[in-house]
């Protein structure tokens, strides 16, 4: 009877050790993937979200901003639709959005830290221009970022606004 108890104890300890090792590997792997997907825009080092050499000009009333497109399929499809003159709708006191009539390819990741000047795709057809910094759990595809967003919130104002976007 004593031998039987020791065998059960050894089996249980072995199973717990295997479980602990597998759990550690799973947690490590998940945290590595999460860091790559949610790191701030300027720290991406994979090819899909690196800024490209393509610059855009964004006109809001008399204000003009320069933005840099990212280098991936979604941003390239967005670029192919330029120039655009669109009526953007106010939402939540931190963003303006526009619904495209057709979809763009998406490569969404959890937003994390949103920065003023981020230009993103929500879902596959909603263009979003953020004019305030905040944190979110929503998923977006990063398309571009305004190089110097100083004055962006003032230019956009509190309501809906017409925005012209073109390549430089």
Query: pLDDT tens for residues 23-38?
Result: 455 444 444 433 333 3
- CA 87, distance to chain mean position in Å, is 22
CB-based burial, 9-43: b 16+ in 10 Å, e otherwise? eeeeeeeeeeeeeeeeeeeeeeeeeeeeeebebee
Give residue limits of the domains in the chain: 1-37, 54-167
Q: How confident is the model over 112-132, as a mean pLDDT?
A: 96
pLDDT band with cut points at 50, 70 and 90 for residue 113: very high
> pTM higher than 0.85, yes or no?
no
Q: What is the CATH number of domain 54-167?
A: 2.40.100.20
The CA-based dihedral angle spanning residues 65, 43, 116, 48, taken in that order and rounded to the nearest 10 degrees: 70
Decide if pLDDT at 147 tops 70. Answer: yes
Task: Convert the pLDDT of each residue in 45-83 to its tens digit.
Answer: 333 466 667 999 999 999 999 999 999 999 999 999 999
**pLDDT value, residue 68:** 96
């Amino acid at each position: 009877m004593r031998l039987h108890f020791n065998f059960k104890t050894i089996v249980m300890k072995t199973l717990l050790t295997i479980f602990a090792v597998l759990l550690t590997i799973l947690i490590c792997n998940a945290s590595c993937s999460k860091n790559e997907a949610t790191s701030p825009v300027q720290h991406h080092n994979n090819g899909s979200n690196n800024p490209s050499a393509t610059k855009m000009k964004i006109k809001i009333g008399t204000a003009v901003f320069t933005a840099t497109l990212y280098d991936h399929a979604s941003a390239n499809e967005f670029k192919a639709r330029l120039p655009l003159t669109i009526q953007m709708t106010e939402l939540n006191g931190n963003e303006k959005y526009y619904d495209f009539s057709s979809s763009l390819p998406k490569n969404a990741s959890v937003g994390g830290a949103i920065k003023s000047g981020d230009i993103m795709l929500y879902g596959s057809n909603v263009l979003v221009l953020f004019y305030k910094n905040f944190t979110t759990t929503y998923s977006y595809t990063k398309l571009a970022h305004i190089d110097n967003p100083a004055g962006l919130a003032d230019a956009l104002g509190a309501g809906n606004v017409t925005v012209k976007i073109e390549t430089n």
